[in-house]
Amino acid sequence: MTQTALVNAHVLTAHGWHDDATVIVADGVIHAITDPAHIAAGIARHDLSGRILLPGFIDCQVNGGGGVLFNDEPTVDGIRAIGAAHRRFGTTGFLPTLISDAIDKMRVAIAAADAAIADGVPGVLGIHLEGPFISRERKGVHTAKYLHVPDAAELRLAASLQRGVTLLTLAPECVAPAAIHGLAEAGVIVSAGHSNADYATVRASLDAGVRGFTHLYNAMSPLASRAPGVVGAALDDTESWCGVIVDGHHVDPASLRVAIKAKPRGKVFLVTDAMPPVGADDPSFVLDGETITARDGICQTASGTLAGSALDMITAVRNTVRLLGLPLEEAARMASTYPAEFLGLGASHGRIEAGYHADFTVIDQAMKVTETWIDGVPQAA
């Protein structure tokens, strides 16, 4: 058993900060967290020089990166390139996300995610199917021609991934509670999003098995005095999780602070909704024939519609500290521990604790990523 000791670090463990703790890694798993004086002879040391060791970031919504859009390259190589781009920003686990597309494209994308996991592509945890079973009224940048109510065969396809996690974003008004229950029973994590549903419809979907909400506030019916909508249902429910895009553009910081106060601790987590410009030199890309450009950190169509983001995960963490006033330890958990729990991976990912995957994000005092580790292996930028 090969062991490595990460030494001289300020470590965010499952129980809080530990100064100058030593994390011992063996065969891709955290073996122990101990005092430097207790390192056995012969164990290789990796000196972090007083930097901050965090659980590796987990991003449930990654449409692209490194100039690659998953819809255009639903292949193992495409997933590998997207993951490599996001590792530079601390992401050690991610779901490649397919924006609403043809059913045949969904089939190809699911096969690619399955093959990527089988091939050991670093960081890939499964797939996120964002649509096409969503509302035309709240479609955002999704292409209307792909949006529809699913039939039984399409629901079986959505649940067909053999390895890893499947996250499916759907609009509750487009999929019956019985079908949602069937998806949940099949192991699919169902999230409500791109929805114009009323409160009662969302409440019924939560009772049927909806587990969370995709990019809270965006592309969903808002909270109003006599019409709570999707946002009201999300904030009212204590059991569900909410992903949020903290880029300073998608949602006003005050609205995000309200959500964090409304939900139980641990139920709000960070996502990037990242597009190809993240980790790439070219600020533009094409989505279903329409050119989208990132300017000042905002991905927009020519008409001004938001189209994903140019956000990376370490920037989301910094924004959570700067814009929302949360301490670094909570922002880091929103990028690691809480998404792991949402995905049902809370017993193996998202914490620096013995027995967990040795996935780490190392940052300096300026909150810039200096190293990422996946399954105990340092990853090249």
Q: How far is CA 69 from the centre of its chain?
A: 16
Residue type, 286: V
Closest to 82 in 3D by CA, of 301, 378, 313, 362 = 313
Q: Determine contact, residues 70/64, Cβ cutoff 8 Å.
A: yes
CA–CA separation, 213 and 215 (whole Å): 6
CA atoms within 13 A on the CB side of 200: 1
CA-based radius of gyration for the chain: 20
**Where do runs of H (alpha helix) occur along the chain?**
76-87, 103-118, 152-158, 177-185, 199-208, 229-236, 253-262, 313-324, 328-334, 337-342
| Antiparallel, parallel or unpaired: β 126-130 and 91-99 | parallel
Sign, CA torsion 270/271/274/279: positive
* Cβ neighbours of 325 (radius 10 Å): 10
Q: Is 82 left (phi over 0), alpha (psi -120 to 50) or beta?
A: alpha
HEC assignment per residue over 179-217:
HHHHHHHCCCEEEECCECCCHHHHHHHHHHCEEEECCCC
Per the annotation, the verdict on 282 as an active-site residue is no
DSSP helix/strand/coil, 359: coil
Q: Determine contact, residues 340/350, Cβ cutoff 8 Å.
A: yes
Which residue out of 101, 114, 273, 359 is catalytically annotated?
273
List residues bridging with 52 in a β-sheet.
10, 363
CA–CA separation, 165 and 339 (whole Å): 12
* Residues taking part in catalysis: 273
